[in-house]
Homo-oligomer: A and B are copies of this chain.
Amino acid sequence: MNCEIICVGTEILLGDIINTNSQYISKSLSEIGLNLLYHTTTGDNPKRLKAAFEEAYERSDIVIATGGLGPTQDDLTKETAAEVMGLEMEVNEEWMKNLEIIFKDRMTPNNLKQADIPKGAKMLYNQNGTAPGVLIENEEKTKAIILLPGPPREMIPMFDECVMPYLMKKSGKTFYSRYYKITNYGESALEHVLLDLFDKQSNPTIATYAKENGILLRVTANADNKEDADVLLQKYEDIIYQRVGDGIFATEDISLSQVVLNLLEEKGMMLAAAESCTGGNIAAAITELPGSSKVFYGSMVTYSNEAKMKVLGVKKETLDQFGAVSEETAREMVQGLAKLSDADISVAVTGISGPEGGSEKKPVGLCYVAVSYQDKVFCEKVTYPTRRRSHQLRMTGYALNMVRQIILEDDK
Protein backbone atom coordinates (compact mmCIF):
# COMPACT_ATOMS: atom_id res chain seq x y z
CA MET A 1 0.00 0.00 0.00
CA ASN A 2 1.76 3.13 -1.22
CA CYS A 3 1.04 6.51 0.31
CA GLU A 4 1.96 10.06 -0.43
CA ILE A 5 1.43 13.45 1.13
CA ILE A 6 0.31 16.70 -0.47
CA CYS A 7 0.67 19.88 1.57
CA VAL A 8 -1.41 22.77 0.38
CA GLY A 9 -0.05 26.05 1.61
CA THR A 10 1.37 29.19 0.10
CA GLU A 11 2.90 29.97 3.51
CA ILE A 12 5.06 26.87 3.18
CA LEU A 13 6.21 27.86 -0.32
CA LEU A 14 7.04 31.34 0.97
CA GLY A 15 9.03 29.79 3.81
CA ASP A 16 6.86 31.53 6.40
CA ILE A 17 6.13 28.26 8.16
CA ILE A 18 7.93 24.97 8.30
CA ASN A 19 6.29 21.80 7.12
CA THR A 20 5.95 19.89 10.37
CA ASN A 21 2.77 18.11 9.25
CA SER A 22 4.63 16.07 6.67
CA GLN A 23 7.13 14.90 9.23
CA TYR A 24 4.44 13.94 11.71
CA ILE A 25 2.50 11.93 9.15
CA SER A 26 5.64 10.36 7.69
CA LYS A 27 6.86 9.16 11.04
CA SER A 28 3.47 7.70 11.91
CA LEU A 29 3.24 5.87 8.59
CA SER A 30 6.73 4.44 8.92
CA GLU A 31 5.85 3.21 12.41
CA ILE A 32 3.13 1.01 10.95
CA GLY A 33 5.27 -0.10 8.05
CA LEU A 34 3.57 1.86 5.27
CA ASN A 35 5.57 3.11 2.30
CA LEU A 36 5.64 6.80 1.63
CA LEU A 37 6.77 7.72 -1.86
CA TYR A 38 6.49 11.49 -2.09
CA HIS A 39 5.84 14.71 -0.24
CA THR A 40 4.58 17.47 -2.48
CA THR A 41 3.89 21.02 -1.39
CA THR A 42 1.94 23.35 -3.60
CA GLY A 43 0.16 26.65 -3.14
CA ASP A 44 -3.46 27.66 -3.46
CA ASN A 45 -3.27 27.79 -7.25
CA PRO A 46 -6.23 25.70 -8.58
CA LYS A 47 -4.50 24.39 -11.69
CA ARG A 48 -1.34 23.27 -9.91
CA LEU A 49 -3.33 21.84 -7.03
CA LYS A 50 -5.45 19.76 -9.41
CA ALA A 51 -2.36 18.50 -11.25
CA ALA A 52 -0.79 17.48 -7.96
CA PHE A 53 -3.89 15.55 -6.90
CA GLU A 54 -4.24 13.84 -10.27
CA GLU A 55 -0.66 12.72 -10.30
CA ALA A 56 -0.71 11.51 -6.70
CA TYR A 57 -4.03 9.69 -7.06
CA GLU A 58 -2.72 8.01 -10.18
CA ARG A 59 0.48 6.65 -8.67
CA SER A 60 -0.41 6.00 -5.02
CA ASP A 61 -3.07 4.11 -3.10
CA ILE A 62 -3.54 6.59 -0.29
CA VAL A 63 -3.15 10.33 -0.76
CA ILE A 64 -3.08 12.36 2.44
CA ALA A 65 -3.45 16.10 1.95
CA THR A 66 -3.16 18.79 4.61
CA GLY A 67 -4.27 22.41 4.39
CA GLY A 68 -6.64 24.43 2.28
CA LEU A 69 -9.82 23.46 4.16
CA GLY A 70 -10.49 26.95 5.49
CA PRO A 71 -13.49 29.13 4.73
CA THR A 72 -11.94 31.52 2.20
CA GLN A 73 -12.02 31.60 -1.58
CA ASP A 74 -8.42 30.39 -1.63
CA ASP A 75 -9.28 27.18 0.16
CA LEU A 76 -9.93 24.73 -2.63
CA THR A 77 -8.58 21.40 -1.44
CA LYS A 78 -11.97 19.71 -0.91
CA GLU A 79 -13.39 20.86 -4.23
CA THR A 80 -10.25 19.87 -6.10
CA ALA A 81 -10.11 16.39 -4.57
CA ALA A 82 -13.80 15.89 -5.34
CA GLU A 83 -13.24 16.90 -8.94
CA VAL A 84 -10.32 14.50 -9.32
CA MET A 85 -12.45 11.66 -7.95
CA GLY A 86 -15.46 12.69 -10.02
CA LEU A 87 -17.70 13.57 -7.09
CA GLU A 88 -20.18 16.37 -6.38
CA MET A 89 -20.16 18.32 -3.14
CA GLU A 90 -22.97 18.02 -0.62
CA VAL A 91 -23.79 19.42 2.77
CA ASN A 92 -22.79 17.25 5.72
CA GLU A 93 -25.68 17.74 8.14
CA GLU A 94 -23.75 16.64 11.20
CA TRP A 95 -21.03 19.24 10.67
CA MET A 96 -23.60 21.88 9.75
CA LYS A 97 -25.20 21.40 13.17
CA ASN A 98 -21.81 21.72 14.76
CA LEU A 99 -21.10 24.96 12.87
CA GLU A 100 -24.45 26.35 14.01
CA ILE A 101 -23.43 25.68 17.60
CA ILE A 102 -19.99 27.25 17.10
CA PHE A 103 -21.06 30.36 15.18
CA LYS A 104 -24.65 30.91 16.33
CA ASP A 105 -25.77 34.10 14.57
CA ARG A 106 -22.27 35.02 13.40
CA MET A 107 -22.37 32.45 10.57
CA THR A 108 -21.31 33.76 7.15
CA PRO A 109 -21.67 32.08 3.73
CA ASN A 110 -17.95 31.34 3.90
CA ASN A 111 -18.41 29.36 7.06
CA LEU A 112 -21.33 27.47 5.56
CA LYS A 113 -18.99 26.23 2.86
CA GLN A 114 -17.08 24.35 5.55
CA ALA A 115 -19.97 21.91 5.96
CA ASP A 116 -19.69 20.80 2.32
CA ILE A 117 -17.93 17.53 1.68
CA PRO A 118 -17.70 15.31 -1.42
CA LYS A 119 -20.73 13.06 -1.87
CA GLY A 120 -20.29 9.71 -0.19
CA ALA A 121 -17.18 10.81 1.71
CA LYS A 122 -16.75 10.32 5.42
CA MET A 123 -16.54 13.44 7.57
CA LEU A 124 -13.67 13.46 10.09
CA TYR A 125 -14.42 15.37 13.26
CA ASN A 126 -12.25 18.39 14.05
CA GLN A 127 -11.94 18.93 17.81
CA ASN A 128 -10.02 22.16 17.49
CA GLY A 129 -11.36 24.03 14.51
CA THR A 130 -14.22 24.73 12.14
CA ALA A 131 -12.97 22.70 9.15
CA PRO A 132 -13.85 19.00 9.20
CA GLY A 133 -11.52 16.47 7.62
CA VAL A 134 -12.64 14.19 4.82
CA LEU A 135 -11.98 10.56 3.90
CA ILE A 136 -12.94 9.69 0.33
CA GLU A 137 -12.62 6.13 -0.92
CA ASN A 138 -13.11 5.07 -4.53
CA GLU A 139 -15.94 2.66 -5.29
CA GLU A 140 -13.76 -0.42 -5.11
CA LYS A 141 -12.24 0.85 -1.87
CA THR A 142 -8.78 0.27 -3.31
CA LYS A 143 -7.75 3.91 -3.19
CA ALA A 144 -8.46 6.84 -0.94
CA ILE A 145 -7.86 10.54 -0.60
CA ILE A 146 -7.77 11.88 2.96
CA LEU A 147 -8.04 15.62 3.58
CA LEU A 148 -6.86 17.11 6.86
CA PRO A 149 -6.72 20.69 8.12
CA GLY A 150 -3.37 22.53 7.98
CA PRO A 151 -2.86 23.79 11.55
CA PRO A 152 -0.99 21.05 13.46
CA ARG A 153 -3.22 21.36 16.52
CA GLU A 154 -6.18 20.46 14.34
CA MET A 155 -4.36 18.02 12.07
CA ILE A 156 -2.59 15.88 14.68
CA PRO A 157 -5.56 14.77 16.81
CA MET A 158 -7.61 14.11 13.67
CA PHE A 159 -4.80 12.08 12.15
CA ASP A 160 -4.22 10.08 15.33
CA GLU A 161 -7.86 9.36 16.02
CA CYS A 162 -9.40 8.97 12.57
CA VAL A 163 -6.66 8.26 10.05
CA MET A 164 -4.25 5.95 11.87
CA PRO A 165 -6.94 3.38 12.84
CA TYR A 166 -8.22 3.45 9.25
CA LEU A 167 -4.73 2.89 7.81
CA MET A 168 -3.89 0.13 10.29
CA LYS A 169 -7.13 -1.66 9.51
CA LYS A 170 -6.58 -1.21 5.80
CA SER A 171 -3.02 -2.50 5.96
CA GLY A 172 -4.25 -5.49 7.97
CA LYS A 173 -1.47 -5.06 10.48
CA THR A 174 -1.58 -4.52 14.22
CA PHE A 175 1.28 -2.85 16.03
CA TYR A 176 2.30 -2.67 19.67
CA SER A 177 5.04 -0.38 20.92
CA ARG A 178 7.20 0.07 24.01
CA TYR A 179 9.20 3.21 24.69
CA TYR A 180 12.42 3.89 26.58
CA LYS A 181 13.78 7.31 27.40
CA ILE A 182 17.54 7.28 27.64
CA THR A 183 20.30 9.57 28.87
CA ASN A 184 24.13 9.16 28.81
CA TYR A 185 23.99 7.89 25.22
CA GLY A 186 23.81 9.88 22.01
CA GLU A 187 21.72 8.74 19.08
CA SER A 188 24.63 7.29 17.15
CA ALA A 189 26.15 5.65 20.24
CA LEU A 190 22.82 3.96 20.89
CA GLU A 191 22.56 2.79 17.32
CA HIS A 192 26.08 1.44 17.56
CA VAL A 193 25.44 -0.52 20.74
CA LEU A 194 22.10 -1.87 19.48
CA LEU A 195 23.13 -2.23 15.84
CA ASP A 196 21.94 -5.83 15.52
CA LEU A 197 18.40 -4.76 16.51
CA PHE A 198 18.17 -2.04 13.88
CA ASP A 199 17.18 -4.25 10.98
CA LYS A 200 14.16 -2.64 9.27
CA GLN A 201 12.94 -6.06 8.13
CA SER A 202 12.93 -7.61 11.59
CA ASN A 203 10.03 -7.85 14.00
CA PRO A 204 10.03 -5.92 16.29
CA THR A 205 11.48 -2.87 14.62
CA ILE A 206 13.39 -0.29 16.61
CA ALA A 207 13.82 3.44 16.10
CA THR A 208 15.47 6.31 17.93
CA TYR A 209 14.15 9.86 18.22
CA ALA A 210 16.58 12.53 19.37
CA LYS A 211 14.74 14.79 21.78
CA GLU A 212 16.07 17.93 23.40
CA ASN A 213 16.21 16.11 26.71
CA GLY A 214 17.43 12.63 25.76
CA ILE A 215 16.83 9.88 23.28
CA LEU A 216 13.48 8.19 22.91
CA LEU A 217 13.81 4.59 21.81
CA ARG A 218 10.74 2.95 20.30
CA VAL A 219 10.35 -0.80 19.84
CA THR A 220 7.35 -1.84 17.77
CA ALA A 221 6.11 -5.37 17.25
CA ASN A 222 3.71 -6.47 14.55
CA ALA A 223 1.55 -9.24 15.99
CA ASP A 224 -1.97 -10.66 15.97
CA ASN A 225 -2.59 -9.94 19.63
CA LYS A 226 -1.04 -8.29 22.65
CA GLU A 227 0.22 -11.53 24.17
CA ASP A 228 2.22 -12.43 21.07
CA ALA A 229 3.51 -8.86 20.85
CA ASP A 230 4.60 -8.93 24.50
CA VAL A 231 6.74 -12.00 23.90
CA LEU A 232 8.51 -10.28 21.00
CA LEU A 233 8.86 -6.98 22.86
CA GLN A 234 10.15 -8.55 26.07
CA LYS A 235 12.97 -10.26 24.21
CA TYR A 236 14.16 -6.88 22.92
CA GLU A 237 13.58 -5.20 26.27
CA ASP A 238 15.87 -7.66 28.00
CA ILE A 239 18.65 -6.98 25.49
CA ILE A 240 18.17 -3.21 25.71
CA TYR A 241 18.31 -3.15 29.50
CA GLN A 242 21.34 -5.39 29.48
CA ARG A 243 23.26 -3.07 27.16
CA VAL A 244 22.08 0.47 28.01
CA GLY A 245 19.98 -0.01 31.14
CA ASP A 246 22.19 2.41 33.07
CA GLY A 247 20.88 5.24 30.87
CA ILE A 248 17.18 4.31 30.83
CA PHE A 249 15.30 6.63 33.14
CA ALA A 250 11.72 6.17 31.95
CA THR A 251 9.51 3.95 29.81
CA GLU A 252 7.60 6.87 28.35
CA ASP A 253 8.47 10.17 26.67
CA ILE A 254 9.18 12.28 29.74
CA SER A 255 12.17 14.48 30.59
CA LEU A 256 14.82 13.34 33.04
CA SER A 257 14.37 16.47 35.11
CA GLN A 258 10.64 15.69 35.40
CA VAL A 259 11.46 12.15 36.57
CA VAL A 260 13.85 13.56 39.18
CA LEU A 261 11.34 16.19 40.26
CA ASN A 262 8.61 13.55 40.63
CA LEU A 263 10.95 11.39 42.70
CA LEU A 264 11.92 14.30 44.96
CA GLU A 265 8.26 15.21 45.43
CA GLU A 266 7.34 11.63 46.22
CA LYS A 267 10.12 11.37 48.81
CA GLY A 268 9.57 14.88 50.17
CA MET A 269 13.19 15.74 49.46
CA MET A 270 15.00 18.97 48.66
CA LEU A 271 17.75 19.04 46.02
CA ALA A 272 20.65 21.51 45.84
CA ALA A 273 23.22 21.84 43.06
CA ALA A 274 26.66 23.33 42.57
CA GLU A 275 27.67 23.73 38.97
CA SER A 276 30.89 24.61 37.29
CA CYS A 277 31.05 23.25 33.73
CA THR A 278 27.30 22.66 33.43
CA GLY A 279 26.99 26.41 34.03
CA GLY A 280 23.41 26.62 35.29
CA ASN A 281 21.93 23.94 33.07
CA ILE A 282 21.02 21.66 35.97
CA ALA A 283 19.17 24.57 37.56
CA ALA A 284 17.55 25.49 34.25
CA ALA A 285 16.40 21.89 33.65
CA ILE A 286 14.78 21.66 37.07
CA THR A 287 13.31 25.16 37.29
CA GLU A 288 11.76 24.87 33.84
CA LEU A 289 9.19 22.59 35.48
CA PRO A 290 6.18 23.92 37.37
CA GLY A 291 6.34 22.93 41.02
CA SER A 292 10.13 22.88 41.16
CA SER A 293 10.25 25.50 43.90
CA LYS A 294 8.95 22.87 46.35
CA VAL A 295 11.90 20.52 45.79
CA PHE A 296 14.77 22.77 44.65
CA TYR A 297 16.92 24.80 47.00
CA GLY A 298 18.88 26.39 44.18
CA SER A 299 22.17 26.02 42.38
CA MET A 300 25.46 27.68 43.06
CA VAL A 301 26.90 28.24 39.60
CA THR A 302 30.46 28.70 40.84
CA TYR A 303 32.08 29.26 37.51
CA SER A 304 35.19 30.98 38.85
CA ASN A 305 37.56 29.54 41.45
CA GLU A 306 36.83 32.57 43.64
CA ALA A 307 33.16 31.55 43.73
CA LYS A 308 34.04 27.93 44.49
CA MET A 309 36.07 29.07 47.50
CA LYS A 310 33.81 31.83 48.72
CA VAL A 311 30.41 30.25 48.25
CA LEU A 312 31.18 26.54 48.69
CA GLY A 313 34.25 26.73 50.88
CA VAL A 314 36.51 24.79 48.53
CA LYS A 315 40.03 25.12 49.90
CA LYS A 316 42.63 27.10 47.96
CA GLU A 317 45.14 24.32 48.56
CA THR A 318 42.81 21.79 46.94
CA LEU A 319 42.42 23.96 43.84
CA ASP A 320 46.17 24.61 43.72
CA GLN A 321 47.17 21.01 44.23
CA PHE A 322 44.52 19.10 42.26
CA GLY A 323 42.96 21.75 40.05
CA ALA A 324 39.34 22.87 39.65
CA VAL A 325 38.53 19.75 37.62
CA SER A 326 39.39 16.95 40.03
CA GLU A 327 37.68 14.46 42.29
CA GLU A 328 38.98 16.37 45.31
CA THR A 329 37.39 19.63 44.18
CA ALA A 330 34.12 17.93 43.22
CA ARG A 331 33.93 16.38 46.70
CA GLU A 332 34.67 19.65 48.47
CA MET A 333 32.12 21.42 46.29
CA VAL A 334 29.35 18.99 47.19
CA GLN A 335 30.30 18.90 50.86
CA GLY A 336 30.35 22.67 51.05
CA LEU A 337 27.03 22.79 49.26
CA ALA A 338 25.42 20.22 51.56
CA LYS A 339 26.55 22.24 54.56
CA LEU A 340 25.38 25.53 53.06
CA SER A 341 22.00 24.32 51.86
CA ASP A 342 21.12 21.61 54.35
CA ALA A 343 19.33 19.97 51.40
CA ASP A 344 18.42 16.28 51.48
CA ILE A 345 20.53 15.53 48.44
CA SER A 346 23.24 17.67 46.85
CA VAL A 347 25.01 17.35 43.51
CA ALA A 348 28.15 19.09 42.25
CA VAL A 349 29.70 19.07 38.79
CA THR A 350 33.09 20.26 37.62
CA GLY A 351 34.59 19.59 34.20
CA ILE A 352 36.10 20.88 31.00
CA SER A 353 33.53 21.55 28.30
CA GLY A 354 36.09 23.07 25.95
CA PRO A 355 36.95 24.02 23.32
CA GLU A 356 39.86 25.44 25.36
CA GLY A 357 41.17 24.52 28.79
CA GLY A 358 42.07 20.91 28.07
CA SER A 359 45.49 19.31 28.58
CA GLU A 360 47.01 15.90 28.03
CA LYS A 361 46.29 14.82 31.58
CA LYS A 362 42.93 16.54 31.71
CA PRO A 363 41.40 16.51 28.24
CA VAL A 364 38.35 18.40 27.04
CA GLY A 365 35.33 16.32 28.02
CA LEU A 366 36.60 15.28 31.44
CA CYS A 367 34.10 15.76 34.24
CA TYR A 368 33.59 14.82 37.88
CA VAL A 369 30.11 14.52 39.38
CA ALA A 370 29.74 14.26 43.13
CA VAL A 371 26.59 13.57 45.11
CA SER A 372 26.14 13.98 48.84
CA TYR A 373 23.31 11.95 50.34
CA GLN A 374 22.72 10.84 53.91
CA ASP A 375 26.26 11.58 55.07
CA LYS A 376 27.79 9.68 52.18
CA VAL A 377 29.59 11.27 49.25
CA PHE A 378 29.63 9.50 45.87
CA CYS A 379 31.89 10.70 43.08
CA GLU A 380 32.08 9.58 39.47
CA LYS A 381 34.54 10.47 36.74
CA VAL A 382 33.19 10.63 33.23
CA THR A 383 34.89 11.62 29.98
CA TYR A 384 32.84 12.67 26.97
CA PRO A 385 34.73 14.75 24.44
CA THR A 386 32.32 16.68 22.22
CA ARG A 387 31.26 20.22 21.45
CA ARG A 388 30.90 22.60 24.39
CA ARG A 389 27.12 22.83 24.48
CA SER A 390 26.66 19.08 24.03
CA HIS A 391 29.07 18.42 26.87
CA GLN A 392 27.19 20.76 29.17
CA LEU A 393 23.86 19.10 28.39
CA ARG A 394 25.24 15.57 28.58
CA MET A 395 26.83 16.25 31.97
CA THR A 396 23.57 17.82 33.16
CA GLY A 397 21.84 14.57 32.25
CA TYR A 398 24.59 12.53 33.86
CA ALA A 399 24.30 14.44 37.13
CA LEU A 400 20.51 14.24 37.26
CA ASN A 401 20.57 10.53 36.46
CA MET A 402 23.11 9.95 39.21
CA VAL A 403 20.80 11.75 41.67
CA ARG A 404 17.93 9.55 40.46
CA GLN A 405 19.90 6.33 40.80
CA ILE A 406 21.22 7.14 44.28
CA ILE A 407 17.74 7.94 45.58
CA LEU A 408 16.32 4.75 44.05
CA GLU A 409 19.24 2.63 45.25
CA ASP A 410 18.32 3.68 48.76
CA ASP A 411 14.89 2.08 48.31
CA LYS A 412 16.35 -1.34 47.78
Contacts and interface: CB of A to CB of B under 8 A. Distances in A.
A24 B17 CA distance: 10
A39 B36 contact: no
Contacts of A23: 12, 15, 17-19
Interface of A: 7, 12-20, 22-30, 36-43, 45, 48, 52, 207, 270, 273, 275, 277, 279-284, 286-288, 290-293, 296-304, 306-307, 310-311, 340-342, 354-357, 388-389, 392
Nearest to A29: B15
A166 B293 CA distance: 55
Contact of A287 (B13, B18, B29, B279): B279
A41 B38 contact: yes
A369 B288 CA distance: 19
Given A280-B281, A287-B301, A297-B306, A19 B39 contact: yes
A280 B290 contact: no
A26 B39 contact: no
A281 B13 CA distance: 34
A48 B37 contact: yes
11 contacts: A13-B38, A14-B27, A17-B23, A38-B40, A38-B52, A39-B39, A290-B388, A293-B303, A306-B341, A307-B341, A311-B311
A2 to B, nearest CB: 11
B37 A27 contact: no
Contacts of A297: 303-304, 306-307
A41 B27 contact: no
Contact of A292 (B15, B283, B293, B303): B303
B303 A298 contact: yes
A281 B275 CA distance: 13
A304 B296 contact: yes
For the complex of A and B, list the 5 residue pairs with the smallest distance between their C-beta atoms, beginning with the closest: A279-B287, A280-B283, A15-B27, A15-B26, A280-B280
Contacts of A37: 13, 42-43, 45, 48
Given A23-B19, A27-B15, A280-B282, A288 B38 contact: no
Most buried by B among A41, A355, A356: A41
Given A300-B300, A303-B293, A311-B311, A39 B15 contact: no
A288 B13 contact: no
Given A279-B287, A311-B300, A12 B26 contact: yes
A388 B288 contact: yes
Contact of A41 (B39, B275, B388): B39
A30 B15 CA distance: 8
Nearest to A281: B284
A194 to B, nearest CB: 16
A48 B282 CA distance: 48
Contacts of A342: 306
Given A13-B26, A15-B27, A38-B41, A296 B288 contact: no
Contacts of A18: 18-20, 23
A411 B342 CA distance: 44
Given A40-B40, A41-B38, A298 B287 contact: no
Contacts of A14: 26-27, 30, 36
B48 A42 contact: no
A146 B170 CA distance: 40
Nearest to A280: B283
A335 to B, nearest CB: 16
A27 B19 contact: no
B19 A22 contact: yes
A149 to B, nearest CB: 19
Given A279-B288, A311-B311, A340-B311, A16 B22 contact: no
Contacts of A270: 304
